[in-house]
Amino acid sequence: MKQQDYIRTAEENLFHVYNRFPVVFDHGQGVHLYDTDGKEYLDAGSGIGVMALGYNDLAYNRILHEQVDRLLHSSNLYYTPQLAAASEAVTKATGMDRVFFTNSGAEAIEGALKTAKKHAYLRDPKARQEIIAMNHSFHGRTVGALSVTGTEHYRTPFYPLMDGVRYADFNDLASVEAQIDDGVCAIILETVQGEGGVVPADRDFLRGIRRICDEHDILMIIDEIQCGMGRSGKMFAYQDYGVRPDILTTAKALGLGLPVGAFCVRQELAETSLIPGDHGTTYGGNPLVCAAVTASIHLMRQRRIPEHVTELSPYFESMLQKMADRYDFITSCRGVGFMRGLVTTLEPRLVAARALEEGLVILTAGSDVIRMLPPLIFEEKDFDVLEEKLIHVFNSFC
């Protein structure tokens, strides 16, 4: 079939909630994707941060093949060796004490919110259980996750959402402090805002949130669904700030392509929140995704992926700064590790479409950011090709 045939068939049958680009990807290898016509694309999006080790990693594939032949599912009514291994790997990597596996990042956020609310309820059944979230944040599209997403146009069509949510400004500690009273049970924020424009938290801000939570007995929820799993140069970005959350959410690269997320909590919170019957999932933590989780963390550790990101980050940042210096329509670059954005006066989606013509996959964030989340195995030579392709793309807008 030709690409247009695949696209037509999909559009005739899918619920149209995505404005997809007109390309049909067939397979990937390393840092490249290939469409059904055989055209090669340098992937600087990695499936929105999922394919951290690139495509067709043979060691990872072998582990999954073995698990497929062994056991796919048995339900959470029972234990499996894979569940035990994955739980140990995640708690060690995150520095947290307990983990619950979900099917997605949004479900991890839902579990985090329920944990915070149940903890507040047990302390005082009459408490308001309100949550402070950040403007321009993004936590997912389910009702609870959408309720704490700080972008109005995402929320408006779906009101009434979960009530008791207040919004403060990211990196503005005074705006958070102004929202604090006895009704607040948790503060939720991303260490690096992704969809909100690739904006890292200031060190003083994140530490200030931890201080506020400690002083007022409020839970700190950190969302690292996108910026976690090595992308910042640490296994989890918060680990570079000298803080520890009460609840952590993760997903995307946690399964390297398989749908899995998790929320992790401190031991004290695990003992004073959810109990059997409060929360559950049919597929979450099944043997296949748990094998993927353990493999993901093991391979990243074995190959020193966070260290590689730290080493190459200045090269990536310097290249993007050259773009900002060269083109008037690129006003700045920002981000951390292999999570970077170019702020632009162009329409980011038009740039992403033009990039595809050039054989380059890039992403957008908000209304004015070109976002790049390359696989964490990018080398200098890959960044050189990325630079060359970006120059061709940007020259077409001059």
- pLDDT tens digits, residue range 104-155? 999 999 999 999 999 999 999 988 899 999 999 999 999 999 999 999 999 9
Whether the per-residue pLDDT at 41 is higher than 90: the answer is: yes
Give dist(CA 178, CA 169) in Å, integer.
11
Burial tier of 393 (Cβ tally within 10 Å: 0-12, 13-18, 19+): buried
Give me the mean pLDDT over the 21-50 stretch: 98
The contacts of residue 153 (CB under 8 Å, 6+ apart) are none
Please count the helices (runs of H) and the strands (runs of E) in the chain.
Answer: 14, 17
Whether the per-residue pLDDT at 229 is higher than 90: the answer is: yes
Cβ count near 284 (within 10 Å): 22
Query: Kind and range of the H or E element at 134?
Result: strand 130-134
Give dist(CA 195, CA 214) in Å, integer.
28
The model's confidence at residue 1, banded by pLDDT at 50, 70 and 90, is confident
- pLDDT tens digits, residue range 91-102? 999 999 999 999
Query: Kind and range of the H or E element at 9?
Result: helix 3-13
How is 300-345 classified by DSSP, letter by letter?
HHHTTHHHHHHHHHHHHHHHHHHHHHH-TTEEEEEEETTEEEEEES
Q: Which two tokens stand for residue 291?
A: 């094998």
Whether the per-residue pLDDT at 306 is higher than 90: the answer is: yes
Q: Looking at residue 128, what is its pLDDT?
A: 86
- pLDDT tens digits, residue range 176-206? 999 999 999 999 999 999 999 999 999 999 9
Contacts of the segment 239-245: beta carbons below 8 A, 24+ positions apart? 239/95, 241/191, 241/201, 241/203, 241/206, 241/207, 242/207, 243/206, 243/207, 243/209, 243/210, 244/95, 244/210, 245/96, 245/220, 245/221
The model's confidence at residue 7, banded by pLDDT at 50, 70 and 90, is very high
Task: Give strand ranges (E) for 30-74.
Answer: 32-35, 40-43
Q: Which two tokens stand for residue 12?
A: 């005739």
Beta pairing class for 130-134 and 184-190: parallel
Q: Looking at residue 127, what is its pLDDT?
A: 85
Q: What is the largest CA-CA distance in the chain?
A: 62
- pLDDT tens digits, residue range 325-355? 999 999 999 999 999 999 999 999 999 999 9
For residue 28, list its beta bridge partners.
33
Whether the per-residue pLDDT at 246 is higher than 90: the answer is: yes
Q: Looking at residue 45, what is its pLDDT?
A: 98
What are the angstrom distances between the C-alpha of 335 and each of 80, 82, 149, 330, 382?
Answer: 39, 35, 20, 15, 19
The model's confidence at residue 13, banded by pLDDT at 50, 70 and 90, is very high
- pLDDT tens digits, residue range 202-228? 999 999 999 999 999 999 999 999 999
Q: Looking at residue 114, what is its pLDDT?
A: 98
- Using CA atoms of 364, 334, 112, 294 in order, give the dihedral in degrees to the nearest 10: 90
